[in-house]
Structure 1
Amino acid sequence: MSVDSRTELVPLRTWFGLRWRGYDRDEVDDYVAELEAELRLVTADRDASEARAEALASRLIAVQEENAALQDGLHRICLTPIDLKGLPERLARMVALAEEERREVIRDAQLKALMIVGEAEQRARKLDEEAADKRESIREDFRLAMSARRAEAMRALAELRSVALDEAERIIAEARVRGAGID
């Protein structure tokens, strides 16, 4: 048995067999009638919801198409250059103000760029000066270290010379003593 889902959700049995101590037939019939009425209402609500959903889906598609057309038109209008002669005076004034603001923004950006470049140049000069001071300090430290080494070397050389002269005088003295003993 086929059931039409639009008219009936579930085939209902509308009769009950009678038994000796069975159910009250009127009560069962009333219950089944109420249940069928509720099912008809639920089915009608479902059908109405489906129809409304289909109508909303159709409307959504139409609105999306209209939106796409409006966006295309807006894009086309935005790409078209503005002719100031054809605009009313108020719009022309707004365009002129926007152009003036654009120039101010560019000028401010250029001034800020110049300030940033100036600051960078000052910082570079300061770093160059610090590097030059550091180089000069290193050179001075090197010169002092070399002077100290030279002085140390000269002292060591003078000491060696003194030791060498003392040794030479000792050798000469010994040689004289030997030479005097040979004579």
Structure 2
Amino acid sequence: MSVDGSTELLPLRTWFGLRWRGYDRDEVDDYVAELEAELRLVIADRNASEARAEALASRLASIQEENAALQDGLHRICLTPIDPKGLPERLARMVALADEERREVLRDAQLKALMIVGEAEQRARRLDEEAAAEREEIREDFRLAMSARRAEAMRALAELRNAARDEADRIVAEAKVQTLRIE
């Protein structure tokens, strides 16, 4: 039971009879004695609940340990190979068949693993070849692009050279005209 401002723990009496010098002492003493008795009962209940909870927790821990031990035993038993000599003929045959099936499953798994590895290697080779071809294509594209840029740069340089020569020829011609005027 929760205790908060709206819920009372016990139905507490909140009034006492008035006497000449305050409250009736006997009434207050009786009330306090009743409260103490109620509190002792509540404390005893709480202590009993705590003891029961501890006992249950201890029992739970021992059951969990026992369960773990049983699981370990079961695991050990399942991993222990069965000796066919100790089994009746029918069970021995079933064990032999199960062992043969286990070997077949293992053999199939190994074959599948080899096939998968082979396929992965072929795929890796194919991807390597594709990557090499793509690298070569990129190199060729780069070489062509650089050749085109080089040709463009050479053309631009030739145009600049021609423009500079034309300008120089014009300046020389102007200088000659000027020198002729001056003379």
Using structure 2 for the length normalisation, give the TM-score.
0.53
Match of 1:24?
Answer: none
Return the offset for 1:90.
4.4
Tell me how far apart the structure 2 counterparts of residues 80 and 177 of structure 1 sit (CA, whole Å): 117
Match of 2:101?
Answer: 101
Name the CA shift for 1:159/1:92 in 2 (closer, same or farther; >3 Å): same
- In structure 1, runs of 5+ residues without a counterpart are 1-76
Moved over 4 A (4+): 77-81
Which structure is higher in RCO with an 8 Å CA cutoff and minimum separation 6?
Answer: 1
Structure whose CA Rg is larger: 1
Secondary structure of 2:82's counterpart equals: coil
Return the offset for 1:180.
1.7
Alignment identity in percent?
83
Match of 2:114?
Answer: 114
Aligned length: 110
Using structure 1 for the length normalisation, give the TM-score.
0.53
Tell me how far apart the structure 1 counterparts of residues 78 and 161 of structure 2 sit (CA, whole Å): 98
Return the offset for 1:135.
1.8
- In structure 2, runs of 5+ residues without a counterpart are 1-76
User: Is residue 2:136 matched to residue 1:136?
Assistant: yes
Name the CA shift for 1:150/1:103 in 2 (closer, same or farther; >3 Å): same
- Which range moves more in the overlay, 126-135 or 107-116? 126-135
Match of 1:125?
Answer: 125
Match of 1:174?
Answer: 174
Coordinate RMSD, CA, aligned: 2.5
Name the CA shift for 1:182/1:123 in 2 (closer, same or farther; >3 Å): same
One-letter amino acid of the structure 2 residue matched with residue 144 of structure 1: L
Secondary structure of 1:82's counterpart equals: coil
Tell me how far apart the structure 2 counterparts of residues 151 and 168 of structure 1 sit (CA, whole Å): 25
Return the offset for 1:120.
1.5
One-letter amino acid of the structure 2 residue matched with residue 95 of structure 1: V
Tell me how far apart the structure 2 counterparts of residues 129 and 79 of structure 1 sit (CA, whole Å): 48
Return the offset for 1:94.
3.2
